[in-house]
Structure 1
Amino acid sequence: MTGDPEPIGAQARRALEQELADLRDERRLVAGTLHDSPSVGDQADQADELRRADQLDRLDRRIEDITTRLRQARTAGPAPTDQVGVGSTVTVRFPDGSVETLQVAEVAEALDQTLVTADSPLGHALLGHRPGDTVRYGTPDGPATAVVESIGEGPAPASS
């Protein structure tokens, strides 16, 4: 990543927007509990009040991080189609002949197997490459390679 605003893919945007909505809901609940205590009682009450205040600070920081990232993504515009970057959808062919279409993202949803993060070995290896390039990356089983087939919405058509 260059330090410039990076684009974000549709799936990653939806995940961040959902997380932002959830965090705002949680923040409203936590903030409501702070206002429910007109006076702080014993040390246990004070400790609980401090814990909720810390939780509120944590939520505020994460809300600001996500809001900033979504704003930067709007500034960056769409994901590149000439070379792999954050937000790109890329189809790769592995040495065993299997082909997968993946999205390079900053963050991955736990259950989404089509996302690779830009700082993962494969995601990092793909960044900056173009169709036809072979990328090399590390795996727990040792070095591996993949060929960039296409950048865009899905696999390239099979050639005859």
Structure 2
Amino acid sequence: MTGEPEPISAQARRALEQELADLREERRLVAGTLRDTTSVGDQADQADELQRADQLQRLDRRIEDIGERLDRADLAGPAPTDVVGVGSTVGVRFPDGSTESLQIGEVAEALDQPLVTADSPLGRALLGRRPGDTVHYDTPDGPATAVVVSIGTDGPS
């Protein structure tokens, strides 16, 4: 990602907000198991305390990351509908005639529809394109193309 504010879909926002709520609850539970570190215990107790403290740090980092991502999405506003961007739902047609509706998103987004990350070969090829544009991208099987059919919530037409 570029670090610039990027929109996310409403569905992805709900998924991130749910993950955030789950992480906060997990953090509350883990924090409740920590004891006073000044008390004397055996090495196993101390190792267990250190493991839980490390877990709290990981949870805190993820909570902070999600909070920052949601803040950046608020600054960015809604996903674009005139050009493909992060958060767009894009209808694409492949050379075999098949069409598919894809969400341009981030790895953190849990969606019911196919997700193409913005930093994948197809995602990079789609960014900034408009309906009617042909995109070229690399796959493990070699070069490929697709045509942007639609942008928005409609999917392929």
Structure 1 gap ranges (5+):
none
* Match in the other structure for 1:118: 118
Letter aligned with residue 43 of structure 2: Q
1:1-160 superposed matches below 5 A: 1-35=1-35, 39-107=39-107, 112-155=112-155, 157=157
Letter aligned with residue 62 of structure 1: R
Give SS of 1:148's match: strand
| Structure 2: distance between partners of 1:66 and 1:155 | 27
CA contact (8 A) 2:101 2:156 kept: no
Superposed displacement of residue 110, structure 1: 6.4
Give SS of 1:95's match: coil
| Structure 1: distance between partners of 2:54 and 2:60 | 10
| Structure 2: distance between partners of 1:19 and 1:143 | 36
CA contact (8 A) 1:90 1:150 kept: yes
CA contact (8 A) 1:108 1:117 kept: no
CA contact (8 A) 2:93 2:156 kept: no
| Structure 2: distance between partners of 1:135 and 1:40 | 64
What is the identity percentage for the equivalent residue pairs of Structure 1 and Structure 2? Answer: 80
Deviations 1:70-93 (A, max 9, x none): 011011100011110000111000
Pair 6,40 (structure 1): closer, same or farther in 2 beyond 3 Å: farther
TM-score normalised by the chain length of structure 1: 0.89
TM-score normalised by the chain length of structure 2: 0.91
| Structure 1: distance between partners of 2:91 and 2:106 | 18
* RMSD value, Cα: 1.9
| Structure 2: distance between partners of 1:94 and 1:143 | 12
Give SS of 1:131's match: coil
CA contact (8 A) 1:108 1:116 kept: no
CA contact (8 A) 2:103 2:113 kept: no
Superposed displacement of residue 118, structure 1: 0.8
Give SS of 2:143's match: strand
Give SS of 2:81's match: coil
Q: Aligned pairs, how many?
A: 157
CA contact (8 A) 2:12 2:111 kept: no
| Structure 2: distance between partners of 1:154 and 1:72 | 25
Structure 2 gap ranges (5+):
none
CA contact (8 A) 2:90 2:156 kept: no
